[in-house]
Amino acid sequence: DATKATNEPAPLLVTTDNFTFKQNDNEERRIPDEEDKNFPSRFGITAVRGCMVLQVRDEEGTILSDPTVNKNNDHKKKIKSQDQREQSKNEMGGTKRFIRVELDPAQYAIDARSGKLDVYDNLNLVMRRQSKEDNFKAVLETIRGLMEGSGSIQRVIPKWLQPVLLGFGDPTSAHYKSDIIKEYAMKTVGVNKPDAPLDYGDTFLDETHLRSSFQGSKVIVDGRDEFAAKNDDIESKRRNYKVKVSEQSDGNLQLVEATSYDFP
């Protein structure tokens, strides 16, 4: 509510001995907004309610949040003249956006019981511009989906992944080179051992395709550093490959060892 805002500046940043911090010996430093306990009264914030964006429309009614809608990307180009700016506005469906949201039903029920529904008469919408930065709800729904029907997260997610998935673990612990993953692979039946080659099946069309997929690495196929001598009978047969990428480097190049076997 802007009518209740005091519009006062943030308090000065001072020490216990009443010494005022200054920036560049001229400008006095003030407490950041995120640390100021008087921030709500300064900006007239009386209540905060959460919601989820369901739909974004332009002035023409086009649903911009629908990924299936073909949007014109011309407005992303650099616009110089006034005519180009006006044309871009028309292509974008104007500059206004209509946002449809879904309020938190639990909070709405609490407000209804306590007689605070007047809060919803005057709301200002604050939202992130990049949807990829706001994935908290999606993460929670993913975790809930994994746990539904299982009764315990222990049954569907290995222990080494649980801390990372829940957000408090070290992301590097889930890397395939980490000691945790190596130990898990050694002790778990059905999981490739760290030093075992990976069966790529029919991923590679031929030896040329295999070698070109590991450019910048030293590739050894069936014990050979170079291509095999041309043999029409061999070249006419497609092969499957098992590939092992060694952690140790051969000189300055990564070593890739591939073994072929008959294509089904």
| C-beta atoms surrounding 6 within 10 Å | 10
**Is the predicted pLDDT of residue 109 greater than 90, yes or no?**
yes
pLDDT of residue 228: 64
Higher-pLDDT residue of 1 and 10 is 10
Strand pairing category for 253-262 and 239-250: antiparallel
Quick one: pLDDT band at residue 68, thresholds 50, 70, 90? low
Cβ contact 205:238 at 8 Å: yes
**Is the predicted pLDDT of residue 166 greater than 80, yes or no?**
no
pLDDT of residue 106: 92
pLDDT > 90 in the chain, percent: 8
pLDDT of residue 76: 41
Does the reported pTM lie above 0.85? no
**Is the predicted pLDDT of residue 229 greater than 50, yes or no?**
yes
**Is the predicted pLDDT of residue 41 greater than 50, yes or no?**
yes
Quick one: pLDDT band at residue 150, thresholds 50, 70, 90? low
Cβ contact 213:205 at 8 Å: no
Distance separating alpha carbons of residues 204 and 210, to the nearest angstrom: 6
pLDDT of residue 162: 79
